[in-house]
């Protein structure tokens, strides 16, 4: 072996010497980065397509967070529904910045989520009962309640009144959107008034509490339903458990603020698995509508 061959062997490595071309094949990425998803409870790696088929419920029973399009498709019969546009609202009215402008944060969230804001609205059949469904998506800025979310909720309520069908709201939020200040807090009162319009029209309003539902959302439309369902294990409350423990300086009981604990205490009517939600909602809404089912 002369001095000229040594640098070549060093660059190519032993794999290139024994099997020319194999090194290139081995280093190629033939599978997508998101093929596997880690179970947050067991740490087991789960095949993504299996999770999707299971509606993102892990073998351990964890109901993982899902985005609005996935939720709507899973809720409506056959995954078929009519999408309803959400209203436009003024952007960044306070010219807010916390080191990064609110406008830039909005643009980044929209690019990641592929839509304007946290709320998505659909109309179709849920368990055989026609309904308007509004979904709050935690993946968009933590599902925070702002002007766009408030306007969307009002639009959904009025669509339900116009079509004479129930309204179903899937909640998921970390609270009010701080970048909109008092304008965000005003949505708590405005959405409450929209629910009164449903009551005046004698139409049911059902809430499905998903993980997490906290802050001003819990203090308004999340707790004003005619019936409150919740997904297993969902965190539901106003302030988080760590904040409460730090305030009262006491250890909270096991399962505090989880769906099952709140059902036991009467705050939630029923805990329902994701796969059973459409059928359960259809049955309940049909009863609340007096056994009648609106024509499509």
Sketch out the chain's domains with CATH numbers: 32-62 (no CATH), 65-289 (3.90.226.10)
Q: What is the pLDDT of residue 111?
A: 95
Contact 73, 79 (CB under 8 A): yes
Q: What is the pLDDT of residue 240?
A: 86
CA-nearest of 222, 233, 231, 228 to 274 is: 231
Q: What is the pLDDT of residue 165?
A: 98
Q: Coil, helix or strand for 252?
A: coil
- Among left, alpha and beta (phi > 0; psi -120 to 50; other), residue 198 is alpha
| Measured distance CA(70)–CA(67) in Å, rounded | 6
| Measured distance CA(180)–CA(94) in Å, rounded | 7
Q: What is the pLDDT of residue 54?
A: 97
Query: What are the φ and ψ backbone dihedral angles of 276, each rounded to 5 degrees?
Result: -90, -5
Q: What is the pLDDT of residue 20?
A: 52
Low-confidence ranges of the chain (pLDDT < 70): 1-33, 292-296
| Measured distance CA(230)–CA(258) in Å, rounded | 9
Token couple for 156? 């959904």
Tell me the C-alpha to C-alpha distance, in Å, between residue 79 and each of 5, 84, 131, 134, 137.
63, 15, 14, 15, 18
Q: What is the pLDDT of residue 28?
A: 45
The contacts found for 268-273 with CB under 8 angstroms, 24 or more apart, are 268/209, 268/228, 268/229, 268/230, 268/236, 269/227, 269/228, 269/229, 270/227, 270/229, 270/230, 271/229, 271/230, 271/231, 271/232, 272/208, 272/229, 272/230, 272/231, 273/57, 273/63, 273/231, 273/232
Q: What is the pLDDT of residue 34?
A: 81
Q: What is the pLDDT of residue 17?
A: 54
Kindly state the helix (H) or strand (E) to which residue 270 belongs, with its residue range: strand 270-271
């Amino acid at each position: 072996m002369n001095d000229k061959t040594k640098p070549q062997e060093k660059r190519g490595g032993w794999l290139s010497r024994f099997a020319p071309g194999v090194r290139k094949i081995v280093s190629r990425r033939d599978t997508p980065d998101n093929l596997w998803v880690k179970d947050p409870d067991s740490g087991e790696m789960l095949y993504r397509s299996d999770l999707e088929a299971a509606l993102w419920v892990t073998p351990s029973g964890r109901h993982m967070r899902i985005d609005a399009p996935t939720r709507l498709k899973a809720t409506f019969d056959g995954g078929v529904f009519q999408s309803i546009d959400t209203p436009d609202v003024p952007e960044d009215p306070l010219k807010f910045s916390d080191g990064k402008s609110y406008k830039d944060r909005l643009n980044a969230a929209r690019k990641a989520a592929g839509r304007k804001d946290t709320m998505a609205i659909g109309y179709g059949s849920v368990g055989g009962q026609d309904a308007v469904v509004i979904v709050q998506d935690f993946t968009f800025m933590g599902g925070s309640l702002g002007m766009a979310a408030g306007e969307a909720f009002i639009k959904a309520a009025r669509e339900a009144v116009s079509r004479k069908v129930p309204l179903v709201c899937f909640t998921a939020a970390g609270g009010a959107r701080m970048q909109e200040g008092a304008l965000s807090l005003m949505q708590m009162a405005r959405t409450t008034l929209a629910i009164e319009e449903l009551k005046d029209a004698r139409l049911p309003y059902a809430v499905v509490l998903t993980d997490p539902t906290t802050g001003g959302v819990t203090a308004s439309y999340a707790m004003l339903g005619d019936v409150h369902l919740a997904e297993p294990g969902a965190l539901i409350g106003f302030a988080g458990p760590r904040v409460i423990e730090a305030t009262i300086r006491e250890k909270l009981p096991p399962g505090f603020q989880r769906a099952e604990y709140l059902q036991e205490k009467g705050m939630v009517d029923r805990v329902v698995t994701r796969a059973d939600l459409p059928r359960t909602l259809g049955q309940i809404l049909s009863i609340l509508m007096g056994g009648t089912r609106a024509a499509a």
